[in-house]
Amino acid sequence: RLPDGSYSVAAAAQRYGVSKNVVRRWIAAGLVAAEQITLPKQARSLYLLIDPATDKKLQAVATTRASRTYPNS
């Protein structure tokens, strides 16, 4: 997790108990915003911008089977 509160794909996957592929699908489905950031001595990586409302939504999605089907919520 970055100091500004952004999460890497791996950190978000760990936080919500899902795979990195699920997190990438959430991004593609528009459930969470992400931006590419290049950090010193690292390749460009996606970081998720998770505010409290998005956090609550992702927690709910991750705890249901719907997290595998990516509802339009």
Confidence of residue 67 (pLDDT cuts 50, 70, 90): very low
Return d(Cα 56, Cα 42) in angstroms, integer: 30
Q: What is the pLDDT of residue 63?
A: 87
Whole-model pTM? 0.76
H runs (alpha helix) in the chain: 9-16, 20-29, 52-62
Q: Classify the phi-psi angles of 26: left when phi > 0, otherwise alpha if psi is within -120 to 50, otherwise beta.
A: alpha
Instruction: For residue range 39-51, list pLDDT tens digits in order.
Output: 677 666 888 989 8
What is the spatial distance between Cα 49 and Cα 26, in angstroms, rounded to a whole number? 12
